[in-house]
């Protein structure tokens, strides 16, 4: 019957299925018990997978894992390798005797410089070298790549300009050969300052020189580059622009690349531009890089900048944050509502001095400069939102003045050489200790330089001072806690009122 045929077919299929399973078990060498066989099959076929066991097994596994973990020393070494990759370099460990920590006991005449350079040095009234100059210039004159580190105001500019001048003199460089030296610097003001020293040093050399920077007339710069500029001072953004877009700008014969204030260039966001510039410049050149601090980004830049092993020359390596010997530092603790009264009083008593007042923002500079001018205290202002011609004229006007007051942001705090500044007032404290160093570095510059720095603090900001003292070994005069008596406040307000009324009557 049809039903019996169907049953027979099902029985045959079932027998075949059981036979296949039995054959498979025998082939795998696994026992007959189904539960055990499944567990054993997993272990046989997938030995790399972990086996779920009891809690004690799990603890043993964890203990084994702990044993193979790296030690603290190994982790520290690994992190150091990642964070601060080793940069191969030679080191100049020679000690140079200095006067007041600035001048060395070596003269420029000892370097056997060209007559043109010596005449310029005489006009500039430089006879003795600073420590960074005495240690770096001899190596640079031999063609060595230089990695320099020195505090602000130490004479770095001549450390790289003199070797450039001597190289050009020795090579008898012609303008038709293109640009021989490029000096990259972070800010427009610093570029103008370096260019000023370049003009003075090259006064008796027959070589062209120029400066390109953001905010200046690009077409005029391009025309000058096309005619030929032997020594070029530049900011990173504008230099990259000319390298990419100015056809007459010839750098194929470049001999010297100088990167000044490298850490500052990276801080203000020019890392990508620098790397692109390095790709566009010839690899066969002498490179000199100067940086106040050695950060990870700076070390990365060092690695791509130097084709040869540089020689490292560090001044004050033992102190990352250092100030000059002639600087007197003090601070005032004053409540918020009395800060401007104190500033007004101080400036009234020091109208014949040269004073720089640091503010925290461009808006603060605008507000307080207008307010001080309004209450009959004439001040200049300098900040990053000004147009370039305004910043340039203000900078040179203040530099040449014997007595003046400048209200500014940190745009003027790094690298600028402003002569004979008597007082540095930090109306707003800086964000970082290194910015404090750069601010106060605007005074007590040069040989026998003397200057004073005064830090305004709120009572809540005293921990910052403690940090400067304990961590960075900066010394301050005893504190002055300012609490204006009512009679003093009345006198100050009366003086301010007379100034305002006097202006109103004139109008």
Q: Domain ends where: 261, 287, 314?
A: 314
The region of weakest confidence among 9-13, 83-87, 408-412 is 83-87
- Whether pLDDT at 165 is above 70: yes
pLDDT of 76 reads 42
For tokens 């040095």, what's the residue?
A: 121
The verdict on 335 and 291 lying in the same domain is no
For tokens 């025309």, what's the residue?
A: 223
pLDDT-derived band at 338 (thresholds 50, 70, 90) equals confident
Q: Is residue 500 part of a domain?
A: yes
Q: Is residue 412 part of a domain?
A: yes
Q: Is residue 17 part of a domain?
A: no
Average pLDDT over residues 306-318: 79
User: Which residues is 227 bridged to in the sheet?
Assistant: none
Alpha carbon distance 178, 226 (integer Å): 9
- Whether pLDDT at 319 is above 80: no
In 3D, which of 430, 428, 481, 483 has the Cα closest to residue 456? 428
Containing domain of residue 376, as a range?
327-506
Q: Domain ends where: 266, 284, 314?
A: 314
pLDDT of 213 reads 94
The region of weakest confidence among 150-159, 201-210, 333-342 is 150-159
- The pTM assigned to this predicted structure is 0.67
Q: Pick the residue with more confidence: 192 or 416?
A: 192
pLDDT of 465 reads 78
Q: What are phi and psi of 328, to 5 degrees?
A: -100, 130
pLDDT of 32 reads 37
The verdict on 151 and 272 lying in the same domain is yes
Tell me the percentage of the chain whose pLDDT exceeds 70: 67
The verdict on 365 and 281 lying in the same domain is no
DSSP reduced 3-state for 492: helix
The verdict on 401 and 463 lying in the same domain is yes
What CATH number corresponds to the domain at position 493?
A: 3.40.50.300
Widest pairwise Cα distance in the chain = 131
pLDDT in tens, 122-138: 999 999 998 899 999 99
pLDDT-derived band at 81 (thresholds 50, 70, 90) equals very low
**Number of domains within the chain:** 2
Tokens of 476: 């301050």
DSSP labels, 416-440: ---TT--EEEESS--SSHHHHHHHH
Alpha carbon distance 272, 255 (integer Å): 23
The verdict on 358 and 479 lying in the same domain is yes
User: Which residues is 130 bridged to in the sheet?
Assistant: 103
The verdict on 423 and 478 lying in the same domain is yes
Element (H, E) at 149: strand 146-149
Q: Is residue 494 part of a domain?
A: yes
The verdict on 233 and 264 lying in the same domain is yes
Cβ atoms of 244 and 266 closer than 8 Å:
no
Q: Is residue 208 part of a domain?
A: yes
pLDDT of 66 reads 42
Cβ atoms of 236 and 274 closer than 8 Å:
yes
Taking only Cα atoms into account, the Rg of the chain, rounded to an integer number of angstroms, comes to 35
The verdict on 161 and 247 lying in the same domain is yes
DSSP reduced 3-state for 125: coil
Cβ atoms of 457 and 333 closer than 8 Å:
yes
Show the beta-strand stretches assigned E in 343-413: 354-358, 380-382, 404-408
Average pLDDT over residues 411-430: 80
Q: Domain ends where: 280, 314, 348?
A: 314
Average pLDDT over residues 74-90: 48
For tokens 């770095």, what's the residue?
A: 156
The verdict on 134 and 251 lying in the same domain is yes
Q: Is residue 462 part of a domain?
A: yes
Q: Is residue 99 part of a domain?
A: yes
The verdict on 338 and 276 lying in the same domain is no
In 3D, which of 405, 451, 450, 409 has the Cα closest to residue 426? 409
- Whether pLDDT at 426 is above 70: yes
The verdict on 281 and 160 lying in the same domain is yes
pLDDT-derived band at 432 (thresholds 50, 70, 90) equals confident
DSSP reduced 3-state for 298: helix
- Whether pLDDT at 85 is above 60: no
pLDDT-derived band at 358 (thresholds 50, 70, 90) equals very high
pLDDT of 212 reads 97
Residues 6+ apart with CB under 8 A from 270: 186, 236, 237
- Whether pLDDT at 57 is above 50: no
Q: Is residue 283 part of a domain?
A: yes
- Whether pLDDT at 90 is above 70: no
The region of weakest confidence among 40-54, 317-331, 453-467 is 40-54
The verdict on 368 and 460 lying in the same domain is yes
pLDDT of 60 reads 42
Alpha carbon distance 476, 71 (integer Å): 43
């Amino acid at each position: 019957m049809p039903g019996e045929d169907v049953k027979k077919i099902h029985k045959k299929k079932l027998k075949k299925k059981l036979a296949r399973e039995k054959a498979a078990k025998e082939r795998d060498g696994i026992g007959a018990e189904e539960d055990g066989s499944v567990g054993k099959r997993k272990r046989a076929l997938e030995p790399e997978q972990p086996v779920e066991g009891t809690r004690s097994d799990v603890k043993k596994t964890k203990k084994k894992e702990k044993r193979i973990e790296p030690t603290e020393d190994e982790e520290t070494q690994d992190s150091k390798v990642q964070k601060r990759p080793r940069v191969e370099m030679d080191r100049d460990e020679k000690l140079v005797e200095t006067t007041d920590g600035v001048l060395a006991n070596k003269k420029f005449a000892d370097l056997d410089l060209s007559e043109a350079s010596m005449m310029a040095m005489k006009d500039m009234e430089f006879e003795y070298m600073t420590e960074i100059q005495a240690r770096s210039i001899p190596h640079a004159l031999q063609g060595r790549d230089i990695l320099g580190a020195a505090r602000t105001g130490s004479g770095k500019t001549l450390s790289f300009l003199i070797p450039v001048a001597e190289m050009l003199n020795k090579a008898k460089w012609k303008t038709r050969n293109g640009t021989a030296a490029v000096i990259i610097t972070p800010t427009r003001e610093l570029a103008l300052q370096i260019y000023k020293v370049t003009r003075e040093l090259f006064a008796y050399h027959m070589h062209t020189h120029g400066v390109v920077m953001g905010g200046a007339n690009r077409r005029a710069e391009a025309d000058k580059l096309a005619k030929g500029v032997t020594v070029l001072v530049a900011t990173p953004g504008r230099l990259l622009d000319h390298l990419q877009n100015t056809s007459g700008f010839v750098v194929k014969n470049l001999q010297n690349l100088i990167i000044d204030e490298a850490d500052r260039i990276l801080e203000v966001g020019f890392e990508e531009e620098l790397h692109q510039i390095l790709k566009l410049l010839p690899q066969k050149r002498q490179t000199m890089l100067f940086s106040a601090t050695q950060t990870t980004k700076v070390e990365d830049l060092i690695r791509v900048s130097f084709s040869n092993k540089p020689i490292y020359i560090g001044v004050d390596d033992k102190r990352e944050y250092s100030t000059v010997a002639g600087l007197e530092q003090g601070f005032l603790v004053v409540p918020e509502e009395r800060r401007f009264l104190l500033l007004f009083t101080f400036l009234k008593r020091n109208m014949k001095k040269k004073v720089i007042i640091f503010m925290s923002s461009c808006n603060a500079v605008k507000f307080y400069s207008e307010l001080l001018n309004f209450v009959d205290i004439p001040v200049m202002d300098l900040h990053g939102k000004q147009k370039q011609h305004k910043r340039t004229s203000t900078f040179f006007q203040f530099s040449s003045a014997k007595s003046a007051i400048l209200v500014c942001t940190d745009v003027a705090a790094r690298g600028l050489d402003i002569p004979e500044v008597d007082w540095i007032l930090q109306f707003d404290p800086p964000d970082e200790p290194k910015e404090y160093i750069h601010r106060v570095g605007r005074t007590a510059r040069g040989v026998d330089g003397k200057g004073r720095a005064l830090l305004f603090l709120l009572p809540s900001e005293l921990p910052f001072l403690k940090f400067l003292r304990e961590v960075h070994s900066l010394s301050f005069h005893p504190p002055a806690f300012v609490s204006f008596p009512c009679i003093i406040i009345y006198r100050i307000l009366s003086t301010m009122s007379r100034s305002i009324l006097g202006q109103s009557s004139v109008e």
